[in-house]
C-alpha cells in the first residue's frame, strides 16, 4: 500500500471510529432521548446531542494534543507510536478485567451533558482509541528532520489533532443522532429499555486491536 493510500485509510479509520462511538449507547445518545422526552420539546434533542458532541470533542483534544506536541521528537516517532499502542492495549485489558461502569458518571447532573460526555469518553478510553490512528496520520520519517523546522512540524500536528477530533466527533454525532431520532420519533424510551445492547466487551477488544494495529503500523507500515 502506498503512503498516500495508507494515510487515506487512516482518515477513514477516524470516521469509522466516530460512527462506532456514536452507535455505542455508552457514549450518551440515550441521554439525549431522555432529555427530549422529559422536556417534551423537539429542540431539546439536537441541543442535547450538541452538548454531548462538545464534551466528546474536548475529551479527544485533551488526549491528542499532548501527542501532537511530542511529535516534533521525530527521531523517537516509532518509539512514541509503540508506547501509545501499548497504552491503548493496556486500557483495553483494564476494561476487559474491570467490567463495572464508573460510578462517578451517575453523580453528574443530567443537565450537564457536556461534562458527562467528557468524563465518559475519558473513562472509556475513547480518546486513546484515536491516538494510534492520529500518530499514523502524522507519521514522519526520521530522515526528514533536516527539511522540516520543529516549530512548523508541531503546528501542523496540532492542526491535525483538531481536524481528527472534529471529524471523529462529527461522525459520532451523526451516528448517535440517527439512533436518537429513531427512538424519539418512532419507538420511544420503553423500546430502548427492552432492546438495550451492551458493547462493553466489544469496546474493550476494539481498544486492544487498535493498539496492536498502532504498534504494527509503527514498526512495519507508514
pLDDT digits over 47-65, tens only?
999 999 999 999 999 999 8
Q: Where are the domains of the chain?
A: 3-220
* pLDDT tens per residue, range 115-142: 989 998 888 888 888 888 888 887 654 4
The three cell numbers of residue 183 are: 427512538
- pTM, 2 dp: 0.82
139: left (phi over 0), alpha (psi -120 to 50) or beta: beta
SS3 assignment, position 151: helix
Q: Are 116 and 35 in contact (CB under 8 A)?
A: no
What sign has the CA pseudo-torsion 180, 183, 185, 190?
Answer: negative
Number of helices and strands in the chain (H, E):
9, 0
Q: Which residues of the chain have pLDDT under 70?
A: 1-5, 71-75, 99, 101-106, 110, 139-155, 188-199, 221-222
Amino acid at each position: 500500500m502506498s503512503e498516500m493510500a495508507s494515510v487515506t485509510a487512516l482518515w477513514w479509520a477516524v470516521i469509522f471510529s466516530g460512527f462506532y462511538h456514536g452507535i455505542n449507547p455508552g457514549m450518551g445518545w440515550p441521554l439525549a432521548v431522555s432529555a427530549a422526552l422529559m422536556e417534551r420539546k423537539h429542540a431539546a434533542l439536537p441541543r442535547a446531542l450538541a452538548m454531548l458532541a462538545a464534551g466528546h470533542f474536548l475529551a479527544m483534544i485533551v488526549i491528542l494534543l499532548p501527542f501532537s506536541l511530542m511529535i516534533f521528537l521525530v527521531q523517537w516517532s516509532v518509539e512514541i507510536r509503540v508506547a501509545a499502542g501499548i497504552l491503548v492495549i493496556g486500557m483495553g485489558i483494564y476494561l476487559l478485567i474491570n467490567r463495572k461502569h464508573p460510578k462517578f458518571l451517575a453523580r453528574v447532573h443530567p443537565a450537564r451533558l457536556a461534562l458527562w460526555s467528557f468524563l465518559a469518553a475519558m473513562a472509556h478510553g475513547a480518546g486513546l482509541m484515536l491516538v494510534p490512528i492520529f500518530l499514523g496520520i502524522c507519521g514522519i520519517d526520521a530522515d526528514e528532520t533536516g527539511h522540516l523546522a520543529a516549530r512548523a512540524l508541531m503546528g501542523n500536528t496540532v492542526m491535525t489533532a483538531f481536524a481528527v477530533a472534529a471529524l471523529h466527533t462529527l461522525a459520532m454525532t451523526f451516528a448517535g443522532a440517527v439512533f436518537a431520532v429513531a427512538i424519539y420519533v418512532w419507538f420511544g424510551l420503553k423500546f430502548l429499555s427492552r432492546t438495550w445492547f451492551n458493547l462493553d466487551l466489544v469496546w474493550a477488544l476494539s481498544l486492544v486491536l487498535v493498539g496492536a494495529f498502532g504498534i504494527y503500523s509503527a514498526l512495519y507500515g507508514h
